[in-house]
Amino acid sequence: MLFPSFRWRIILIKLLCSILFCICGLGTLGTELEAYAQVGSSKVPSFREPLPEMHQRLKGKASSFANLSPAQCRRRLKAHREGPLIFERGKSVRGIATSYRLLGSRVAIDVRVPSKKSEIALKDCRFLLTWIELVPMLQKHNITAIRFDNFYRRGAKIRKGKKSQHSYGLAADIGMIQFGEQEVEIKDGFLGKIGSETCGPEAVLYQANHSELALSGAKKMRDFICDLARKGSFHHLLTPNYNAAHAEHLHFDIQRDNRWCFVK
Ligand SMILES: [Zn+2]
C-alpha cells in the first residue's frame, strides 16, 4: 500500500515524534556528561571515581574522633594549641559535651565563622579536632577561604524524636568555599540536581549555560567533597543534590557509635 490511510499516517507521525523526543533527550544528557571535558582535562575527574565500600570509609577519622571521650579529646586538642586553627573554650550549653569556639587560622586559609557572641559558633571538642586535622587536606585542595554559617543549633531535630548532630555541636553548615582566587557559593556554584549522585561514576555536573569558570569551580568543590567522603572524614555529607533544604549549603557531621555513612 503506497499511500497509508489517515489513521496510519497519524500513527507514523506519533512514532516519528517519539524518536525525535528520544534523540533530543539523549542530547541533553550528553551535554551534561560533556561538562567534565570542558574543565580542562580528558581524564575522569576524581569526584567520579568509585568510592570505597562503606565499611572502609567507616574506618576514617570521623569514627575515631566521634568516639573520643571529652577527656581524650581535650588531651588531643592540647597538642594543637599553637596549630593551624585558633580556638578557645566556649560557654557550656545543653547538648555539647565540651564546648569550643573556632576563631580563625594561623595559615593562609580565611576561616569565616559566626559571631563570637552567637551560640551557633559553638562546637564540640571532637568536631573542632576534626577540622584541625583536616587543614592539610584543605591546603591540598588549594582552599583559601571557607565560610561556616553555623555549627551548634540548640535542640535541632531531623524529624520528630530524632536529634540532628547540630544539637550536639558535631555538625557544620557551609555556605561558601574559595579555591585559590575563586569563591564558590554553594547556592549557585554547586551545579547539582536533587536526586542525582554527588560522587562516583554516575555523578554529573549540571551545566546549563554556565561558564567554564563556573564548571571549574563546581568540579573543585565536588573533588573536595568526594575526597572527604572517600577518606571517611565525616559520617554524613549532604549537598544541594540531597533536598531543597540543602540548596544553599553543605552539611557535614560526625556521630558517636555510628555504623553507617553517606554522601548525598
Ligand atoms: Zn546542617
Q: What is the pLDDT of residues 237-259, one digit of tens each?
A: 999 999 999 999 999 999 999 88
Grid cell in block for residue 242:
540531597
Would 2 be classed as within a structural domain?
Answer: no
Grid cell in block for residue 76:
588531643
From the number of C-beta atoms within 10 Å of its C-beta (0-12, 13-18, 19+), residue 235 rates as buried
Ligand 1: distance of its center to the CA of 171 in Å? 6
From the number of C-beta atoms within 10 Å of its C-beta (0-12, 13-18, 19+), residue 165 rates as buried
Ligand 1: distance of its center to the CA of 179 in Å? 22
Would 216 be classed as within a structural domain?
Answer: yes
Which pTM value belongs to this model? 0.84
- pLDDT at 21 (0 to 100): 45
How many domains in the chain?
Answer: 1
- pLDDT at 41 (0 to 100): 52
Ligand 1: distance of its center to the CA of 234 in Å? 13
Ligand 1: distance of its center to the CA of 247 in Å? 11
Ligand 1: distance of its center to the CA of 172 in Å? 6
User: Mean of the pLDDT values across residues 68-88?
Assistant: 96
User: Mean of the pLDDT values across residues 83-102?
Assistant: 96
Q: Could you tell me where the DSSP H helices lie in 124-200?
A: 125-140, 186-189
pLDDT at residue 27 is higher than 70: no
Would 9 be classed as within a structural domain?
Answer: no
Helix (H) or strand (E) holding 7: helix 6-33
pLDDT at residue 10 is higher than 80: no
Would 201 be classed as within a structural domain?
Answer: yes
Would 28 be classed as within a structural domain?
Answer: no
- pLDDT at 1 (0 to 100): 44
pLDDT at residue 186 is higher than 90: yes
pLDDT at residue 166 is higher than 80: yes
Would 26 be classed as within a structural domain?
Answer: no
- pLDDT at 29 (0 to 100): 42
Determine the structural domain holding residue 123 and report its residue range: 42-263
pLDDT digits (tens, 9 = 90+) for 210-237: 789 999 999 999 999 999 999 999 999 9
Would 35 be classed as within a structural domain?
Answer: no
Would 128 be classed as within a structural domain?
Answer: yes
Share of the chain above pLDDT 90, in %: 78
Ligand 1: distance of its center to the CA of 166 in Å? 6
Ligand 1: distance of its center to the CA of 78 in Å? 28
From the number of C-beta atoms within 10 Å of its C-beta (0-12, 13-18, 19+), residue 213 rates as exposed
